[in-house]
């Protein structure tokens, strides 16, 4: 690894852009598929948790309250570039993305930079400014805006925070770019979670570059850098080898690890789905634990 990669890995750790649960105290993380896991990826935090939270709140307000696309884009650009200008941490991340672009997408491989509503913009706007490229805003309502003129058949390099299953690419960004008569040149993201999204994009001939893939190798680098201990790495490896075996070893002992009373609404719904549907076939070996969890769920629903 280069020194720059080491610094970025430490930054991701220190900002909790990738966070690991404490299996002694809980609570476990809940994923969109209504299954639990030992780590969670919030890539936007890498620019600084306080900065990210503030920017996302303001971005949401601008999109909701400013109907004129030119004014909306102007406000978003000024907001994000001002934050980038003031934060060395923020600048470090964008510099790493620019370096990746110089290596993977040489000059002439793309004409404009695109970013999708809304977390992408935290990275795509300062990235475009740093390399002197036009920025194309892609909105979830299918709108497209660029402050400078776009020409048909120009190529867009898409900048993103995270690639998970790549659903937003196929459902939103590709159709919107095509509607604007722009070709997709490829994408650079800060993190990819697993390989599903990356593989899906590559199988469709879409060049994809991630600064980090949050997989076993990622956590091994954290261990080598002294950012996590061996017990934590062992647990993470167990999860990647078999989520069901991981759950049997680390979750099926104490209902307190799930913090049922303190869960937010979405996580509670995911927990209910997991224990009702038993997707990892755990109930047959842990019937008492499932019964205890049923009681905990009932307490919350009735209490």
Residue 9: alpha-carbon gap to chain centroid: 15
pLDDT at 188: 97
Instruction: Look at residues 233, 203, 232, 201 and name the one whose alpha carbon lies nearest to residue 216.
Output: 233
Query: Do residue 83 and residue 120 come from a single domain?
Result: yes
Element (H, E) at 188: strand 183-193
- Provide mean pLDDT across the span 163-184: 96
- On whether residue 59 sits in a domain, the answer given is no
Residue 1 has pLDDT above 60, yes or no: no
* C-alpha 155 chain-centroid distance: 24
Residues 199 and 85 placed together within one structural domain of the fold: yes
pLDDT band at 108 (very low <50, low <70, confident <90, very high): confident
Instruction: For residue 92, give the CATH number of its domain.
Output: 3.40.50.2020
In terms of domains, do 237 and 255 share one? yes
Position 162 pLDDT exceeds 90 = yes
Tokens at 13, concatenated? 């750790």
* Residue closest to 265 by CA, chosen among 303, 302, 300: 300
For 216-230, give one letter per residue: b (16+ CB within 10 A) or e: eebbebbeeeebbee
Give 303 or 12, the one with higher predicted confidence.
Answer: 12
- Residue 199 shares a structural domain with residue 291: no
> Are residues 195 and 235 both part of a single domain?
no
CA distance 158 to 62: 22
- The predicted pLDDT at position 107 comes to 78
Per residue in 254-290, pLDDT (tens digit) is 999 999 999 999 999 999 999 999 999 999 999 999 9
Query: In the prediction, which pLDDT does 86 show?
Result: 96
Residue 293 has pLDDT above 70, yes or no: yes
- What's the pLDDT score for residue 2? 67
- As a whole number, mean pLDDT of residues 179-193 equals 96
Q: Which domain holds residue 139?
A: 67-213
Regarding whether 183 and 73 lie in a shared domain, the answer is: yes
Look at the chain and report how many structural domains it folds into: 2
Q: Residue 3: pLDDT above 70?
A: yes
């Amino acid at each position: 690894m280069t020194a720059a990669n080491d610094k970025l890995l430490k930054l991701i750790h220190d900002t909790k852009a990738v966070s690991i649960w404490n299996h002694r105290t809980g609570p476990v993380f809940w994923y969109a598929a209504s299954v639990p896991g030992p780590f969670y990826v919030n890539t936007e935090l890498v620019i600084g948790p306080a900065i990210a939270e503030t920017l996302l709140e303001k971005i949401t307000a601008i999109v909701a309250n400013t109907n004129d696309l030119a004014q909306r884009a102007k406000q978003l650009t000024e907001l994000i570039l001002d934050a980038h200008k003031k934060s060395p941490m923020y600048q470090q991340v964008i510099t790493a993305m620019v370096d990746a672009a110089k290596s993977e997408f040489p000059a002439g491989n793309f004409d404009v930079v695109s970013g999708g509503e809304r977390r992408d913009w935290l990275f795509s706007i300062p990235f475009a400014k740093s390399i002197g490229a036009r920025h194309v805003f892609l909105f979830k309502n299918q709108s497209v805006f660029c402050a400078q003129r776009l020409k048909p058949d120009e190529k867009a390099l898409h900048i993103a925070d995270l690639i998970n299953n790549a659903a937003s690419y196929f459902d939103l960004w590709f159709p919107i770019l095509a509607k604007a008569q722009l070709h997709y040149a490829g994408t650079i993201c800060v993190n990819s979670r697993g390989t599903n999204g990356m593989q899906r994009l590559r199988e469709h001939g879409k060049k994809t570059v991630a600064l980090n893939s949050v997989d076993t190798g990622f956590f091994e680098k954290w261990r080598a850098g002294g950012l996590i201990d061996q017990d934590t790495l062992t647990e993470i490896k167990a999860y990647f080898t078999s989520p069901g075996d991981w759950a049997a070893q680390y979750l099926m002992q104490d209902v307190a690890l799930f913090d049922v009373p303190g869960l937010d609404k979405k996580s509670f719904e995911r927990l209910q789905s997991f224990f009702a549907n038993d997707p990892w076939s755990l109930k047959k070996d842990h019937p008492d634990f499932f019964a205890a969890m049923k009681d905990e769920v009932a307490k919350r629903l009735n209490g």
